[in-house]
Amino acid sequence: MLTDMHIAIVGGDARQLEVIRKLSEYDAKLSLIGFDQLDDGFVGANKQTFYTIDPKTVDAIVLPVSGMSQEGEIESIFSGEKTFFPENWLKKTPDHTVIYSGISNNVLKKLASNNECQLIELLERDDVAIYNSIPTAEGAVMMVIQNTDITIHDSNVAVTGFGRVGMTVARTFKNLGARVEVIANELNLRARAFEMHLDSYSLAELPQRVKNIDVIINTIPAKVLSVDVLSKMPPHALVIDLASKPGGTDFRYAEKRGIKALLAPGLPGIVAPKTAGKIIANVLTALLLEQWSANKGGSV
């Protein structure tokens, strides 16, 4: 259990409600910051602000999946006010305080480093990324159905990148009857594609392979769908870019050519926030139990 562990949950979307619910079940002491418009009540959870919490008592800080913006703002759909860390607030937290965030950027990393706080990025973990790939793939299917006038069955689909997300996406579209090709440079990933009965080729070959494509789903956070690629695609083709912002697509040129290109990061929180929240909550709870056990020097 997490009895007496003080956790500050700062901002977030509907996924964060599952985190609050799970940690409440584990008897943690929860301070909710950026939740002033939240109607739900949770046992052991109190709405607070940074100014009403003694930072010296905080053992862990849980940020939203989106982390923190380049301007230092922490997103919260449950508050009408913008949320930022007050100056020097983190410096007053104990040495063992850990910051948990879905993703990170240079601003958050610098903030954690300057205040000697450990930062754990949940979406960098294999388990979280693989679990999240399921609602991501389902969301991609939804977007293709909504934005094309053909069936997925018998369509030509290319998946750029064959990592934790790309693998699930490719398998999902193959199971729906699409002809799926995988684009990846890594030989081990192309070997896995072969094992899954999927054709594969390198990124260098992509411009020569897209003339008959119906859908391209990108998972690579680099500009792989460039002018050279988009100029050779048919105008009816649809691009679904799942990579984190700004994505891997030249959206300006796609629009100029009349190709519909949609940037869709964070699909799990859009299409299945309850499931996505439970994924985060389960992994986060396990990590917090480890942290609390280590701090107490005993079992949980």
164-204 residue pLDDT tens: 999 999 999 999 999 999 999 999 999 999 999 999 999 99
Output the pLDDT for position 296: 74
Distance CA 206, CA 211 (A): 10
Which residues are CB-contacts of 283 (< 8 A; sequence separation ≥ 6)? 122, 125, 127, 128, 131
Give strand pairing partners of 180: 157
Residue of 177, 224, 179 whose CA lies nearest to 204: 224
Q: Give the SS3 label for residue 136.
A: helix
Which pLDDT belongs to residue 297? 57
Residue 132 has pLDDT above 50, yes or no: yes
Tens of pLDDT, residues 197-222 = 999 999 999 999 999 999 999 999 99
Residue 97 one-letter amino acid: T
7 vs 78: CA distance, rounded Å: 18
Has residue 20 got a pLDDT over 70? yes
User: Which of 47, 46, 42 lies closest to 23, judged by CA?
Assistant: 42
C-beta separation of 272 from 16 below 8 A: no
Residue 14 has pLDDT above 70, yes or no: yes
Cα–Cα distance for residue pair 53/215, rounded to 1 Å: 50
For 58-87, the pLDDT digits (tens) are 999 999 998 999 999 999 999 999 999 998
Return the domain boundaries, the chain.
6-124+273-296, 129-265
DSSP, res 85: P
User: In CATH, what number does 6-124+273-296 get?
Assistant: 3.40.50.720
Q: What sign does the dihedral 110-111-114-117 (CA atoms) show? A: negative
Residue 262 pairs in a beta bridge with: 240
Q: Are 148 and 113 in contact (CB under 8 A)?
A: no
Examine the pLDDT at 147 and tell me if it is beyond 60: yes
Question: Could you check whether 6-124+273-296 and 129-265 share the same CATH topology?
Answer: yes
pLDDT at 298 over 50: no
129-265: CATH topology is Rossmann fold (3.40.50)
How many beta carbons lie within 10 A of that of residue 151, not counting itself?
13
For the stretch 236-294, pLDDT in tens is 999 999 998 889 999 999 999 999 999 998 899 899 999 999 999 999 999 999 999 98
The residues, ordered by sequence, that sit 6+ positions from 42 with a Cβ below 8 Å of its Cβ are 20, 21, 24, 30
Sheet of 260-263, strands arranged across: 199-201, 179-183, 156-160, 215-218, 238-241, 260-263
> Where does the pLDDT of residue 39 fall: very low under 50, low under 70, confident under 90, or very high at 90 and above?
confident
**What rounded mean pLDDT belongs to the chain?**
94
Is the pLDDT reported for residue 300 higher than 50?
no
